[in-house]
Amino acid sequence: MGGELRIDPWSSNQSTDYGNIISQFGLQSMSDVEIPNPSHLHRRGLIFAHRDLDVVLSAHSAGQPFGVLTGLMPSGRMHLGHKMVIDQISWFQNLGADVTITVADLESNATRGLSLARARKVALEEYVANYAALGLDPETTQVYFQSTRSAVQKMAFTLGRRTNLSEFESIYGFSGDTNLAHVLAPLVQAGDILHPMLDEYGGLRPIVVPVGVDQDPHLRLTRGLAAKSNWFNLNSRKGGGLTIGLSVQDDNAAALGIAGDGKLDLKVRQSVIDNIVAEVADLGFADILPNAKHGSIQIPSATQSDRSSVRMKLLRLERSMGGLGLMQPASTYHRFAVGLTGDKMSSSLPNTTIFLTDDIAAVERKIKRAFSGGQPTVEEHRRLGGDPDIDVAYQYMMYFFEPDDKFLAEVNADYRSGKILAGEMKQLCIDRACEWLTNHHQLRDQTGHLVNDFLAPDAR
């Protein structure tokens, strides 16, 4: 069931039909990966799906490098929804990931008219200052600006060759009157996501991007662009094993043995195939079946679990021959916390969320007015119980403020049974929120001097 669903990163109404989203967009369920040292977001099912997270976790368990990346729109104020992403970045950082953070100043300039100078000020004072307080480690974090990193802009152009308006129409629903800034922004975002794999920015390694589902169209686009840029395709072989095929394109034809006249240059082709065979043999495979004319190599004895190591070899070979050698980025998807009012959380509607700079009085006021899952009267509430699944105060404890799973489960049960009243639930949430926020404000004062340490050399 469920009709065609389109996810739109610019729309303000989001689908929360997570089951349908998983099946329609081919996301992988979180239940098929084992998460080391899970955070409350993992334990409570708030991160519900992923693409290729297993590739990242394998790198982690093999002691190989991996990175995590996110971007910020330097337009509004940092709120709880943004904090949830940084919590995930921090979790990956603690696992050993290097961190790259994009300030989307070109995007905010083009789509919201913000000056670059203003974007810089907002990014540092409103976002990076809070990242420091949230515990990101500046040692392994690099914050950069889209406007001053030409590798990102260059990549947007290079990758732009691998897509067209029809694809943008089908991914984003664009039509003839779409503003072209909305065409540029996703290409630059693809550059943001892929450029950390370049040798100058950390080199070939898996990169994971934790996002809300609204950003998945960008990930689908980016993954497609990376795959289409690859010189060597890796597929399952009919009858078992893996097959490598050459992907001949305008800019690699000569290197892959297609001469200017379109004819096969067997000498060049043979040496490409020999190089691939040598790389694959290096992984220990005995029977490797090359076919220079077809431009294919079959490895019957390879299994699905050999995919990553074969792919790495191919990407390195591609790089040595002049290609980009890009992996598809991995991603994880989190549920959206509802806004305090029961609508969508949004920076432009201050009563729907808590900003990290809000004072205690504002927090108290906002939570007191929050949408409740309680019954209209105390008598009915005692008799029928409340519904924590729609009670915003409960939801906020679960998403943001309550570290203790056991306590949360008790509160849940006691609310359902009617033992805890709606007002009491709000007071619990207020207590937790104020405690958290007071502590956060202290930390921000203590870590303010670190802000510049987060900046990449090209951002200083």
Name the site residues for ligand TRP (rule: CB under 6 A). 69-71, 73, 102, 104, 107, 189, 192-193, 209, 215
In whole angstroms, the minimum distance from the beta carbon of 215 to ligand TRP comes to 6
Cβ nearer to ligand TRP, comparing 225 with 397: 225
Cβ nearer to ligand TRP, comparing 49 with 104: 104
**Contacts for 51 with CB less than 8 Å, ≥ 6 apart:** 27, 28, 219, 223, 328, 330, 331
In whole angstroms, the minimum distance from the beta carbon of 112 to ligand TRP comes to 10
Cβ nearer to ligand TRP, comparing 193 with 310: 193
In whole angstroms, the minimum distance from the beta carbon of 71 to ligand TRP comes to 2
In whole angstroms, the minimum distance from the beta carbon of 222 to ligand TRP comes to 9
In whole angstroms, the minimum distance from the beta carbon of 186 to ligand TRP comes to 8
Tell me how far CA of residue 375 lies from CA of 136, 190, 340, 388, in angstroms: 41, 47, 18, 11
Cβ nearer to ligand TRP, comparing 46 with 85: 85
- What is the 3 state secondary structure string of the chain? CCCCCCCCCCCCCCCCCHHHHHHHHCCEEHHHCCCCCCCHHHHCCCEEEEECHHHHHHHHHCCCCCEEEEEECCCCCCEHHHHHHHHHHHHHHHHCCEEEEEECHHHHHHHHCCCHHHHHHHHHHHHHHHHHHCCCCHHHEEEEEHHHCHHHHHHHHHHHCCCCHHHHHHHHCCCCCCCCHHHHHHHHHHHHHHHHHCHHHCCCCCEEEEEEHHHHHHHHHHHHHHHHHCCEEEEECCCCCEEEEECCCCCCCCCCCECCCCCECHHHHHHHHHHHHHHHHHCCCCCCEEECCCCEEEECCCCHHHHHHHHHHHHHHHHHCCCCCCCCCEEEEECCCCCCCCCCCCCCCHHHCCECCCCHHHHHHHHHCCCCCCCCCHHHHHHHCCCCCCCHHHHHHHHHHCCCHHHHHHHHHHHHHCCCCHHHHHHHHHHHHHHHHHHHHHHHHHHHHHHHHHECHHHC
Cβ nearer to ligand TRP, comparing 104 with 430: 104
Cβ nearer to ligand TRP, comparing 91 with 231: 91
In whole angstroms, the minimum distance from the beta carbon of 219 to ligand TRP comes to 8
In whole angstroms, the minimum distance from the beta carbon of 11 to ligand TRP comes to 12
Cβ nearer to ligand TRP, comparing 87 with 279: 87
Cβ nearer to ligand TRP, comparing 71 with 374: 71
In whole angstroms, the minimum distance from the beta carbon of 455 to ligand TRP comes to 17
Cβ nearer to ligand TRP, comparing 69 with 345: 69
Cβ nearer to ligand TRP, comparing 86 with 280: 86
Residue nearest to ligand TRP (CB): 71
In whole angstroms, the minimum distance from the beta carbon of 10 to ligand TRP comes to 8
In whole angstroms, the minimum distance from the beta carbon of 221 to ligand TRP comes to 12
